[in-house]
Chains A and B, each alone.
Chain A
């Protein structure tokens, strides 16, 4: 362990990062990325909101409604946003987690069974988190120690967790009678909905974890080149396991948020969340091949989706057209990335 310390990018001595280096790094990577991709996503958000204002000036003319609508969009983004943070870590680490929606269903359903509810809010929170982390650990064990491809391991978990959720719930909607849990969805702290605060805390924690800790740098290293990371002294298997456990933890938190919002859980809950989370992470600039990604970008990706949903709802447009637009945005966002990170020639030579 000691011998490899200097080679471990995770524990690189701080001394090498002088002021000029930090400035260069900021300009060349983080600053550049913010100016590029995130600005483009903010632009998309502005356009979507502008479309809302133009199409429904009657609604946007009421400041109280506007405030409610902003919080509605953020609340709709909250559970999927938390899951996307976990997904972003997994993808940066070179993996994929197809089981997030199913884990949310299992965690939600388990936390709302009659037996669990009898332990009160604490028991429900503990169960949801424990189920999330537990299933994440199983994913991690299968992938890092069982040497299964992440796609296969998490696909298996996706099917199995939904099956277990259906059997635990008796295929019935599990109604949450717990006022504390249900209250999470309607509680406001200083005028801000609690769900939005939870999202903000998870995003902030994710950002710090990715950008300011050894864990984050190791994640990037493992995703970028696992062999090099191993040679640099990182316990790649253990780290991979932790990444899936982290994703599971996010699913557990997300499941509680969804349960609070719907006052219930169901085996079909979180349907297709895995695809939304992957799409949001990628729109936010995370490379599907691993090694690069941003948490803030992923958050913007989620916000773009929930803003589209909101825009379509206030204009009474159908779900089908909404899904078509969603598809278009995913393609456009990835094309923008290609323009930014690959040269034009590379883009065309692929065609």
Chain B
């Protein structure tokens, strides 16, 4: 009996070991998206080598496709410059962990820090601390509350995403001659300001045409939550004309729910511009007809801006001698017509 249980234990151990080995073999290596990296370009005076600089980077270690692309892009863009040394600190699971990681980074005195905070509000103090230590901070995507906390802010336009999605829905409804459409919305994590901004933009754009959202469910940016909320939304609206889903990653689950419910009477608009979504739009064989961009390429741009700031250069296309303070990306609408142009930018 004793022997048998020991043998079982050994066998179990061996199985776990084999499992770990298998994990190493089956893991999907992340390849950086080269289209989101700007290589050295002879015609661009900003690309010419300058003073060697060290750029620190910190972003939340999220298990989400978009956030993964942010980190990969930043790393790849830094690698494209011969004069940039890239130091990255893992931000950990929450604001407190990121604050601690940033303290370590600040103590290393890099020439600039690119920071995507867990929450801009919670990490404003860290931004101020770095700036006071003489390190310019490039605030990426989630805005700090005080201008003192950053040298440059580059972010996506969450409100604009909602507006673009709303405008597309309005245009499509007008083209189809639907006068009082039933519109659904699957939002992301409701407690995040970015989700509220997206919803507000959508609401405002629809209101301009006299339309309203009939039912709005908040999911959690995951595929299974997207599937769950979409299933319930489809039950609540037995007939629907348009649906906006804030995030293409959770959109995989939303599309699965639509397919399982055998529904195709409406058009769906996505959000962020994932590769899978752009391919689905191009194939035009599902309800997904468009997506509005929120591109992780902004991380590459942030690294370029950090380099220019650290080297004391400006943006060559602008008359200004220095890099501007705020840059907000535009949210573009990807449809079947222009999907081919955007496919290379999908993450």
A residues whose Cβ falls under 8 Å from a Cβ of B: 1, 59, 62, 65, 68-69, 72, 75-76, 79, 110, 113-116, 130-131, 134, 137-138, 141, 145, 162, 164-175, 182, 185-186, 238, 258, 261-271, 309-310, 313-316, 318-320
Can you list 24 pairs linking A and B with CB atoms under 8 Å apart? A110-B26, A137-B16, A141-B9, A141-B12, A167-B27, A170-B28, A173-B223, A173-B276, A182-B256, A185-B260, A258-B224, A261-B224, A261-B256, A262-B252, A262-B253, A263-B255, A263-B256, A266-B63, A268-B63, A268-B221, A313-B215, A313-B229, A316-B215, A319-B190
Do A263 and B12 have beta carbons less than 8 Å apart? no
The docked-state distance in angstroms from the alpha carbon of A75 to that of B63 is 26
Specify which chain A residues have a CB less than 8 angstroms from the CB of B65 in the assembled complex: 171-173
B231 on the A face (CB < 8 A): yes
Closest 4 A-B residue pairs measured CB to CB?
A313-B232, A171-B68, A267-B63, A115-B26
B301 on the A face (CB < 8 A): no
The minimal Cβ–Cβ distance linking A304 to chain B, given in whole angstroms, is 15
Total A-B Cβ pairs within 8 A: 153
Q: Which of B167-175, B202-210, B233-241 contacts A (4 or more CB under 8 A)?
A: B233-241
The docked-state distance in angstroms from the alpha carbon of A318 to that of B215 is 10
Chain B positions 28 through 61: 1 when the CB is less than 8 Å from some CB of chain A, otherwise 0:
1110000000000000000000000000000001
Do B16 and A134 have beta carbons less than 8 Å apart? yes
The minimal Cβ–Cβ distance linking B75 to chain A, given in whole angstroms, is 13
Best-buried of B190, B223, B253 by chain A (most CB within 10 Å): B223
Specify which chain B residues have a CB less than 8 angstroms from the CB of A313 in the assembled complex: 215, 217, 229, 232-233, 235-236
Contact A238/B5 with A110-B23, A173-B252 known, Cβ cut-off 8 Å: yes
B146 on the A face (CB < 8 A): no
The minimal Cβ–Cβ distance linking B221 to chain A, given in whole angstroms, is 7
Specify which chain B residues have a CB less than 8 angstroms from the CB of A130 in the assembled complex: 19
B85 on the A face (CB < 8 A): no
Specify which chain B residues have a CB less than 8 angstroms from the CB of A59 in the assembled complex: 235-236, 238
Specify which chain B residues have a CB less than 8 angstroms from the CB of A174 in the assembled complex: 28
Q: Which of A68, A69, A269, A310 contacts B224 (CB 8 A)?
A: A269
B96 on the A face (CB < 8 A): no
The docked-state distance in angstroms from the alpha carbon of A267 to that of B65 is 10
B322 on the A face (CB < 8 A): no
Specify which chain A residues have a CB less than 8 angstroms from the CB of B276 in the assembled complex: 173, 175
B226 on the A face (CB < 8 A): yes
The docked-state distance in angstroms from the alpha carbon of A261 to that of B23 is 24
Do B253 and A168 have beta carbons less than 8 Å apart? no
Q: Which residue of B lies closest to A309 (CB)?
A: B232
The docked-state distance in angstroms from the alpha carbon of A315 to that of B215 is 8
Q: Which of A79, A238, A262 contacts B223 (CB 8 A)?
A: A262
B328 on the A face (CB < 8 A): no
The docked-state distance in angstroms from the alpha carbon of A125 to that of B228 is 22
Interface hits, B118-173 → A, CB 8 Å? none
Do A169 and B28 have beta carbons less than 8 Å apart? yes
B21 on the A face (CB < 8 A): no
B259 on the A face (CB < 8 A): yes
Q: Which of A65, A170, A262 contacts B256 (CB 8 A)?
A: A262
Specify which chain B residues have a CB less than 8 angstroms from the CB of A1 in the assembled complex: 1
The minimal Cβ–Cβ distance linking A187 to chain B, given in whole angstroms, is 10
Q: Which residue of A lies closest to B23 (CB)?
A: A168
The docked-state distance in angstroms from the alpha carbon of A202 to that of B170 is 47
Specify which chain A residues have a CB less than 8 angstroms from the CB of B256 in the assembled complex: 182, 185, 261-264
The docked-state distance in angstroms from the alpha carbon of A69 to that of B238 is 11
Specify which chain B residues have a CB less than 8 angstroms from the CB of A268 in the assembled complex: 63-64, 220-222
B283 on the A face (CB < 8 A): no
Please classify how large the interface on chain B is, using the bins under 10, 10 to 19, 20 to 34, 35 or more: 35 or more
Specify which chain A residues have a CB less than 8 angstroms from the CB of B5 in the assembled complex: 238
Best-buried of B27, B61, B221, B257 by chain A (most CB within 10 Å): B27
Do A76 and B64 have beta carbons less than 8 Å apart? no
Chain B positions 255 through 290: 1 when the CB is less than 8 Å from some CB of chain A, otherwise 0:
111011000000000000010100000000000000
The docked-state distance in angstroms from the alpha carbon of A265 to that of B190 is 22
The minimal Cβ–Cβ distance linking B296 to chain A, given in whole angstroms, is 12
The docked-state distance in angstroms from the alpha carbon of A171 to that of B28 is 9
Specify which chain B residues have a CB less than 8 angstroms from the CB of A166 in the assembled complex: 61, 63
Known: A62-B238, A68-B235, A171-B67; 17 extra A-B contacts, CB below 8 A, are A72-B231, A72-B235, A76-B232, A110-B23, A137-B15, A166-B61, A172-B28, A262-B226, A262-B256, A266-B63, A266-B249, A268-B64, A269-B223, A269-B224, A318-B190, A319-B190, A319-B217
The minimal Cβ–Cβ distance linking A152 to chain B, given in whole angstroms, is 17
Contact A175/B30 with A168-B23, A271-B225, A318-B190 known, Cβ cut-off 8 Å: no
The docked-state distance in angstroms from the alpha carbon of A172 to that of B15 is 27
The docked-state distance in angstroms from the alpha carbon of A269 to that of B226 is 10
B227 on the A face (CB < 8 A): yes
B216 on the A face (CB < 8 A): yes
Q: Which residue of B lies closest to A235 (CB)?
A: B5
Specify which chain A residues have a CB less than 8 angstroms from the CB of B9 in the assembled complex: 141, 145
Best-buried of B9, B61, B217 by chain A (most CB within 10 Å): B217
The docked-state distance in angstroms from the alpha carbon of A170 to that of B232 is 30
B80 on the A face (CB < 8 A): no
Contact A271/B222 with A113-B28, A134-B16, A170-B29 known, Cβ cut-off 8 Å: yes
Specify which chain B residues have a CB less than 8 angstroms from the CB of A138 in the assembled complex: 16
Specify which chain B residues have a CB less than 8 angstroms from the CB of A79 in the assembled complex: 224
Specify which chain B residues have a CB less than 8 angstroms from the CB of A114 in the assembled complex: 26, 28
The minimal Cβ–Cβ distance linking A220 to chain B, given in whole angstroms, is 23
B25 on the A face (CB < 8 A): yes
Q: Which of A72, A141, A175 contacts B252 (CB 8 A)?
A: A175
Q: Which residue of A lies closest to B65 (CB)?
A: A172
Q: Which residue of B lies closest to A159 (CB)?
A: B93
The minimal Cβ–Cβ distance linking B218 to chain A, given in whole angstroms, is 5
The minimal Cβ–Cβ distance linking B184 to chain A, given in whole angstroms, is 10
The minimal Cβ–Cβ distance linking A222 to chain B, given in whole angstroms, is 17
Best-buried of B1, B15, B19, B274 by chain A (most CB within 10 Å): B19
The minimal Cβ–Cβ distance linking A1 to chain B, given in whole angstroms, is 7
